[in-house]
Structure 1
Amino acid sequence: MRAADPTTGGAAAGSVARSADADVIVVGAGPAGSTAAAYLARAGLDVLLLDKSTFPRAKVCGDGLTPRAVKQLIDLGIDMSEAAGWRHNKGLRAVAGGVSMDLPWPMLASFPDFGAVRPRQDFDELLVRHAEKQGARLREATTVTAAIEENGVVVGVEGHEGPDRRPFTRRAPLTLSCDGVSARVALSLGMVKDDRRPLGVAVRRYYTSPRTDDDFLETHLEVWDRRDPKAPKLLPGYGWIFGMGDGTSNVGLGILATGRTNGTGDYRGLLTHWLAAQPEEWGFREENAVGTIGGAGLPMGFNRTPHARPGMLLVGDAGGMVNPLNGEGIAYAMESASIAAQCAIQGLARSGASREAALAAYPRRMSEALGHYYRLGNAAARLIGNPAVMRVATRHGLPRPTVMRFLLKLLANLYDPKEGELSDRVLTALTRLTPAV
């Protein structure tokens, strides 16, 4: 159903109305938008992919991918071999209370047994070019500021494009809001985030470091704010050290923005102070820094709903898809994009009530896929906000390998729901017994 490209003057085709610019408009070309665009274009739909940036572009991220994210990339058709530029890792190293434990990724039928690292600057461009190869039409330097709504139905978007900020409107039967934590499309429709759901903050920086070739993702489960020596605070969050394999390491902090941290304010200063306490031989000092400290919000636990309204679906960070237990966003952005694309492909092949039924299935399918787990994660996030709980968990849990392997599966959402060992069955039952978000 290839539609006319208004920039080339091509002839309209398929079922698209003569006034439409595409079958689907995808706003945002991050992991969610590029994944959705690739699946939709592969199915023969005309996809207009809009992004405010130009590629390549950097994003604030840990650059570490768990096996859950690797699965999504394999499903998309991305070559995940090391020869293709990916650096594989073996698992997660948990550090707290003077104890360090290497936890290999579990051997599962549902997910591969390796993770990966790749800089977001390279990663995002790889995904967007893959979408273009499938037939998606990318428009860079194109900022969408609002949805266009008629009679309660989203029929397109508006904004400005190019260096001279020319105003534009684009119309389509369906819009996918994949515009990240800013969620401008949703906000233009009055869809605000739920402040009862957790919100995280991530700050990171690259350093030239001898730890660049580490083949475990390292996470520090105790993050102390000691800037006031008289009143040190154990913060709800974690630090990370991910070796990039190119001479640098990506190091950062992920902090829950709870009542105890809202007064912290200066997260960049907190990162600098935390790194100063790390061994000097690791190289995390100003003279070894590559670039500046970057920060970003982490919208967690379905903090913006509903995920669908007539003519529009919310995908990835725009719908608060970040895992509230570990701050992972890429895997869930891509997973939600895959589900959204399936619903869109079915819906746009139909008309009338049947079309609306197919599109309205998206929130239900997201709830079935992640709603129970995210409700569990939202409750856990509230517990993590209690320093006494954090101290007990790290002191009594970390020295016990069996407990930590179980927690790894829970925190990373890596277990076989239908087959596998006892811990997988326990996690499956625990998740199903938890009401969905």
Structure 2
Amino acid sequence: MSQHNLSSSPAASESADVIVVGAGPGGSATAAYLAMAGLDVLLLEKTSFPREKVCGDGLTPRAVRELITLGIPTPEDEGWIKNKGLRIIGGGMRLQLDWPDLSSFPPYGLVRTRQDFDDILAKHAVKHGARLHERVNVTGAVRSDATGHIIGVTAKEMDESGRATGKQLRFDAPLVIAADGNSSRLSLAMDRQKREDRPMGVAVRTYYTSPRHDDDYLESWLELWSKDDEGKDVLLPGYGWIFGVGDGTSNIGLGILNTSSAFGKTDYKDVMKRWVATMPQEWTYNDETMVGDIRGAALPMGFNRQPHYADGLLLVGDAGGMVNPFNGEGIAYAMESGRLAAEVVAQAFARTDDAGRERVLQSYPGVMKDALGGYYTLGRGFAKMIGHPEIMKLAVKYGLPRETMMKYLLKVMANLSEPHGGSAGDRLLNALSRIAPAA
């Protein structure tokens, strides 16, 4: 982005209405919405665009809805690869399920590499007036002596190779938004720790050149095996994926939950290599066609860092543990939390006094719990259940042959139901999400 002069060089000290730390999908969406609302927004990103992120690169209809709402065009001739649904493989079955045709969501998904995707979203935020500073690594919080609230951040400038230049930076704002991912250094600086009672996932992925690069279905493999301490095969709670990127490569990876006793004792890169080795030779997934290393990332799920607002710091995306426990999807929820956060923040800044603004900001945790809390409680139960290999085996053996059940499960796991009316299944999911405690 720097080459297009979209990102300005930071002064040693700057101020704004709102600082957003992290220009991933959550941070860039938040910044774009806030800039549209007329606020002065600083968007700080520790790397420079374009940059790679560990991800499946697959976007469900829920994520596509967020792109449409944000105003991001997704034409196929600009590299957006449409998909019709999900192909599920496991238990000797191969089941192809179309995305549901609903009034509330588009009937298609997309694939776009994070290298492109994050760059596009950051540019969109800048186009609408956000001030983006790349290569700014936020190191800590500046807190008010009087209230303890965060009133700014300290940072260090980085060079193009990722090393600190020695230039120290400070940015001031009455509100700071942490969109700095799973590790969220800013949250830790404000004593906002992760909750250990929430599921955590890990994902590993790489790219292979392959004739399967142009598949119009996302593909999910439900049987991933490892060895236990006694050398016995163990079915892991998670899935492998193959997503065609349309550029001659396939994104291949796997996601595993920590609800299994094998978590932390398993070499996931080795699991992936052994899984890929079982695939047909003509797909050309092998060491010679691998593009880049196998890389891993954590998936913080089910609101694993709370409160989502306190003391001037608001959390969006992975920083607030917004990943869906049912399917490991993060982009849709990062953007959704950014949109909801921006609505609250815009209302807060319309207040003329500090007390009024703070009262509105304190509504944000409730807004997030209303939107996703009950559904995520159901997801945490699901994640815990499939952590037992016996249950996972039964689910694969008896669930996959029942297409009607699997169509409904796809809607549940991808969180695609009509919010009002809809089918009996939609009404059931909505009712369960409402009555489940939004913890």
TM range (shorter): over 0.9
Q: For 1:291 and 1:357, how far apart are their aligned partners in 2?
A: 48
Partner of 2:166: 165
Q: Aligned AA for 2:374?
A: H
Structure 1 stretch displaced more, 20-29 or 162-171 = 162-171
CA contact (8 A) 1:143 1:159 kept: yes
Partner of 1:358: 360
Q: For 1:252 and 1:6, how far apart are their aligned partners in 2?
A: 36
CA contact (8 A) 2:236 2:260 kept: no
Q: Aligned AA for 1:384?
A: I
Question: Which of 24, 29, 36 is the matching residue for 1:35?
Answer: 29
Q: Give the structure-2-normalised TM-score.
A: 0.94
Q: Give 1:265 shift.
A: 4.0
Render the CA deviation track for 1:137-171: whole Å, top value 9, x for unaligned: 11111000111111221101112113313221111
Q: Give 1:131 shift.
A: 0.5
Q: For 1:331 and 1:410, how far apart are their aligned partners in 2?
A: 15
CA contact (8 A) 2:224 2:271 kept: no
Render the CA deviation track for 1:216-256: whole Å, top value 9, x for unaligned: 00001111125999411101110000011111100000001
Q: Aligned AA for 1:152?
A: G
Q: Give 1:20 shift.
A: 6.5
Render the CA deviation track for 1:246-270: whole Å, top value 9, x for unaligned: 1110000000123522343422222
SS at 1:26 equivalent: strand
Partner of 1:309: 310
SS at 2:269 equivalent: helix
Percent of aligned pairs with the same amino acid: 55
SS at 2:15 equivalent: coil
- Counterparts of 1:76-91 in structure 2, within 5 Å, are 76-91=70-85
Q: Give 1:6 shift.
A: 9.7
Partner of 1:331: 332
Render the CA deviation track for 1:172-228: whole Å, top value 9, x for unaligned: 011000000110000111111011100000000100111111110000111112599
Q: For 1:222 and 1:191, how far apart are their aligned partners in 2?
A: 36
CA contact (8 A) 2:209 2:291 kept: yes
Q: Aligned AA for 1:423?
A: G
Q: Give 1:388 shift.
A: 0.8
Match status 1:215 vs 2:207: no
Q: Aligned AA for 1:377?
A: G
CA contact (8 A) 2:316 2:337 kept: yes
Q: Give 1:349 shift.
A: 1.9
Render the CA deviation track for 1:399-418: whole Å, top value 9, x for unaligned: 01110011001000001021
CA contact (8 A) 1:415 1:427 kept: yes
CA contact (8 A) 1:177 1:314 kept: yes
Change (3 A) 1:415 1:287: same
Q: For 2:92 and 2:117, how far apart are their aligned partners in 1?
A: 34
Structure 1 stretch displaced more, 348-357 or 262-271 = 262-271
Q: For 2:394 and 2:170, how far apart are their aligned partners in 1?
A: 55
Match status 1:202 vs 2:200: no
Q: For 1:157 and 1:399, how far apart are their aligned partners in 2?
A: 54
Partner of 2:257: 256
Q: For 1:342 and 1:332, how far apart are their aligned partners in 2?
A: 15
Q: For 2:421 and 2:29, how far apart are their aligned partners in 1?
A: 28
Q: Aligned AA for 1:70?
A: V
CA RMSD of aligned residues (A): 1.7
- Counterparts of 1:268-347 in structure 2, within 5 Å, are 268-347=269-348
Partner of 2:91: 97
SS at 2:377 equivalent: helix
CA contact (8 A) 2:228 2:234 kept: no
Structure 1 stretch displaced more, 53-62 or 75-84 = 75-84
Question: Which of 125, 129, 150 is the matching residue for 2:123?
Answer: 129
Partner of 2:141: 147
Q: For 2:300 and 2:241, how far apart are their aligned partners in 1?
A: 19
Q: For 1:84 and 1:236, how far apart are their aligned partners in 2?
A: 36
CA contact (8 A) 1:157 1:170 kept: yes
Partner of 1:375: 377
Q: For 2:9 and 2:399, how far apart are their aligned partners in 1?
A: 59
Q: Give 1:423 shift.
A: 1.3
Q: For 1:264 and 1:275, how far apart are their aligned partners in 2?
A: 20
Partner of 1:384: 386
Residue-pair matches, total: 424
For structure 1, the 5+ residue unaligned runs are: 10-18
Change (3 A) 1:179 1:45: same
Q: For 1:355 and 1:204, how far apart are their aligned partners in 2?
A: 43
The ranges of structure 1 where at least 4 consecutive aligned residues each deviate by more than 4 angstroms after the TM superposition are 5-9, 226-230
CA contact (8 A) 1:347 1:354 kept: yes
CA contact (8 A) 1:6 1:21 kept: no
Q: For 1:22 and 1:139, how far apart are their aligned partners in 2?
A: 13
- Counterparts of 1:16-27 in structure 2, within 5 Å, are 21-27=15-21
Q: Give 1:22 shift.
A: 0.5
Render the CA deviation track for 1:258-308: whole Å, top value 9, x for unaligned: 352234342222211211122222111101111111110000000000000
Change (3 A) 1:107 1:255: same
SS at 2:203 equivalent: strand
